[in-house]
Structure 1
Amino acid sequence: MSTLLAEDDVLYRQHVHNLLMQHLPQFGPVYTASNGKEALELSRQHQPSFVLMDIRMPEMTGIEVARQVWSERPNTRIVFWSHFADEVYVRELHKIVPPQTVYGYLLKNCTDEKLVSAIQAVVQDEQCVIDREVRGVDSRSQNKITGLSDAEYEVLIDIALGLTDQAIASRRFLSRRGVTNRLRNLYDKLEVSNDQIESDEWGTTFSLRARAIRLAFKRGLINAQLLDEEEVQLDHWLSRYRLEPLD
């Protein structure tokens, strides 16, 4: 058996490496990676049975590394270890976890004892171990009333990137009415309209579009890293409409 430890923070990486050597030496050897690209390369080279991995890393996110690892070796045990229980990560995990695969998701504020225990449960006992806070986020994400559909999530990304209704309709192959319906459903699920206040002096208080983006950030549905990645996809789409510069 072997283990891959992927963590960009050198202090966290060294601390967890020491924990593994002290409490779980049978899981060795332990290969370490400081970014996502290196983690994927080491995974392909050594094919470890167990991966302990941060979600936010340079080069590639832990989610993207896991997608590649599981596509090649779906029985690999992975424990995600992160500061964040953002709903965006929970949504992405639901899309990539293979059927019957055992994995874990712990927050970095957990104790050393809990981390070691969780690793043993995932690897040896074949039990999924999900942090309580992450389970709460997952429950909200899967709830029909509060959870966003893929279509609603797409329109959230588009307005967060600053697209107009017309541009969204073109990008998503929708009518203007279709865009309006998706936005209405998004506002309902984020309860944006409940914040609206009307005054005789200035009319409505909030831009529902801007308020939805604010609440989505607060809820962890979007974050700066996600929008940076989505901006790249948007640039690919827009490139067909940009004129070539004149000589």
Structure 2
Amino acid sequence: MRVLLADDEMIIRAGVRSILTTDPDIEVVAEASDGREAVELARKHRPDVALLDIRMPEMDGLTAAGELRATNPETGVIMLTTFGEDKYIERALDAGVAGFLLKASDPRDLIAGVRAVAGGGSCLSPLVARRLMTDLRRAPAQRGEDQGGRTELLTQREREVLGMLGAGLSNAQIAERLHLVEGTIKTYVSAILAQLGVRNRVQAAIIAYKAGLVEDGGDPR
């Protein structure tokens, strides 16, 4: 798994890199100190995953995420954030990111998040996920139409896949559970995103939660 790491603080980059490289399957192929450099390096190295800090000079992580998703759609983007920056979650989702992790997360969560996104899945720090779900429950009207109701238009199999997607399973893991090939799951996921009118798996996961397709413990129903 090829990873690009972008953060304007050298000590943060060093710490994240040291964690990632404890996994023999992960290779940090490039590092950037600002968003613009991150976009340029992503075009050059074509990483599987880009870990982007939210606040960076020249171009912030959210703007870089949008550009990266437009130019390198095959690269999954994870935003690295600190406590108090969850106000950026909606902007990040609109930019098409696949995950949100706290810099203070358990190192195992960082590695698991990279693995999940590299495999076509998504990742949300539990603290970020709880805050996001709380905000959505408090003000569902702010997001317009009740998106949870859209799942009624899905087939039973699509709802099953959506529930597993909402639980954070990768395409490979869903395929294994359903005894299908991974390519079939990719087709299902693409159809689900189009039917729900969302841009990425994290947004679909939120709908899965709202529709009751994922248990409180994080397992698909």
* TM tier, smaller: 0.5 to 0.7
Contact 1:17 1:30 in 2 (8 A): no
Q: Equivalents in 2 of 1:22, 1:120: separation in Å?
A: 13
Q: Which has the higher contact order (CA 8 A, sep 6+)?
A: 2
Could you tell me which residue of structure 1 aligns to residue 155 of structure 2?
Answer: none
1:46 alignment partner in structure 2: 45
Q: Once the 2 structures are TM-superposed, how far is the Cα of residue 137 of structure 1 from its aligned partner? A: 2.7
Q: CA RMSD in A?
A: 2.4
Could you tell me how far apart the structure 2 residues matched to 1:29 and 1:8 are? 16
- 2:2 is the alignment partner of 1:8: no
Matches within 5 A, 1:187-202: none
Q: How many Å apart are 1:4 and its aligned residue?
A: 0.7
Return the alpha-carbon distance in structure 2 between the equivalents of residues 55 and 145 of structure 1: 24
Q: Report the Cα offset of residue 33 of structure 1.
A: 0.5
Q: Is the partner of 2:92 in helix, strand or coil?
A: helix
Name the structure 1 match of 2:113: 118
Give, as a single letter, the amino acid of the residue that structure 1 aligns with 2:56.
Answer: M
Deviations 1:106-135 (A, max 9, x none): 1111121221122122213x3211112211
In the TM superposition, residue 70 of structure 1 has moved relative to its aligned partner by 0.6
Corresponding residue for residue 122 of structure 2: 128
Q: Which runs of 5+ in 1 are unaligned?
A: 151-247
Report if aligned partners of 1:85, 1:134 keep a CA contact under 8 Å in 2.
no
8 Å CA contact 1:8–1:35 kept in 2: the answer is yes
> What are the residue-to-residue correspondences of 1:60-79 with 2, within 5 Å?
60-79=59-78
Q: 1:105 aligns to what?
A: 100
Letter aligned with residue 138 of structure 1: L
Q: CA deviation at 1:17?
A: 1.4
Map of 2:205 onto structure 1: none
Deviation of the 1:87 alpha carbon: 4.2
Q: TM-score, normalised by structure 2?
A: 0.57
AA at the equivalent of 1:14: A
Q: Supply the distance in 2 between the matched residues of 1:20 and 1:66 (Cα, whole angstroms).
A: 20
- Shift of residue 2, structure 1, vs aligned partner: 2.7
Q: Percent identity?
A: 29
State the one-letter code of the partner of 1:133.
Answer: L
Cα distance in 2 for residues equivalent to 1:111 and 1:7? 18
Following the alignment from structure 2 to structure 1, what is the Cα–Cα distance between the partners of residues 118 and 123? 10
Q: Whose radius of gyration is greater, 1 or 2?
A: 1
Q: What CA deviation, in whole Å up to 9, does each residue of 1:175-222 have, x standing for no partner?
A: xxxxxxxxxxxxxxxxxxxxxxxxxxxxxxxxxxxxxxxxxxxxxxxx
1:142 aligns with 2:136: yes
Q: Distance in 1 between matches of 2:141 and 2:39?
A: 31
The one-letter amino acid of 1:137's match is R
Paired residues of 1:140 and 1:146 also in contact (CA < 8 A): no
SS in 1 for 2:70: helix
- Gaps spanning 5+ residues in structure 2: where? 145-221
- Give the aligned partner of residue 158 of structure 1: none
8 Å CA contact 1:141–1:148 kept in 2: the answer is no
* 1: CA distance, partners of 2:136 / 2:95: 15
Matches within 5 A, 1:164-243: none
